[in-house]
Amino acid sequence: MGMRIHPSLLSADFANFQRDIESIPSADGLHLDVMDYHFVPNLTFGLPVVEAIRKVTDHHIDMHLMIDDPDRWAPAYAEAGCESVTFHVEACKAPVRLARELRKLGARASMGLKPQTDIAPFEDILPELDMILLMTVEPGFGGQKFLDIMLPKVRRTRELVKKSGLDIWIQVDGGVSESTIDQCIEAGADTFVAGSAVFSADDPDGMIRTLRERAEELSAHCH
């Protein structure tokens, strides 16, 4: 199973995005959080900033839309050339329709779940998805402490994906670091959003490589 580290630009320097992106060539993708002050109590950036980032990097762009009405707004991110677009199922009116639209526009369709949202009701729509993002903190702010009570949900999600026989990435987002990544891997995650762990390190790119090596080594033992 391939292990992917997606540094979150929420922890980068907003005034120096390009510099910080260039400092992490080893990243498997860039995780961009769009927040709208409605779905979550924070405001980050929107489509114009994402389009500007798209112009300065060839990295896989992993969009995480923590916004109301993703049915209306998410397709524009796929049109802007983002390889993966995550909408939150709690804010989405028609997840199947939206996932199909994202795929049609050439993006991977991903569904995000807040900590209190159970994966079980969505088993039937797994064939429409390329990734499931499980929040391991309450969404809205970077630098929060990892909620280990979410690990059983990661396990349940891995079991459902396994049962489906589909190739769906399982991403954990929130508090992922050297001290928490092991638990996430053991629970079945394969894609990791790491923000402060990467950007507060003396060598951000070195930290990405360390996390990936750790993930691959442990995954070989676990699965």
The annotated binding site is made up of: 8, 31, 33, 64, 140-143, 173-175, 195-196
Q: Which letter does DSSP use for residue 81 in this model?
A: T
**Angle value at C-alpha 126, between 120 and 131, nearest 5 degrees:** 105
Catalytic member of 33, 36, 130, 190: 33
Among this protein's residues, is 62 annotated catalytic? no
| Residues contributing to the annotated binding site for a divalent metal cation | 31, 33, 64, 173
CB contact set of 148 (below 8 Å; sequence gap of 6+): 180, 183
Among this protein's residues, is 203 annotated catalytic? no
What are the CA-CA distances from residue 57 to residues 36, 66, 72, 78, 167 (Å)?
A: 24, 23, 26, 16, 26
135, 144 contact by CB (below 8 A)? no
Distance CA 67, CA 18 (A): 24
Question: Phi and psi of 148, rounded to 5°?
Answer: -70, -10
Catalytic member of 36, 62, 173, 190: 173
How does 97-119 read in b/e, with b if 16+ C-beta sit within 10 Å?
ebbebbbebebbbbbbbbeebeb
Distance CA 32, CA 45 (A): 9
Nearest CA among 135, 133, 137 for reference residue 84:
133
Q: Which residues are the active-site residues? A: 33, 173
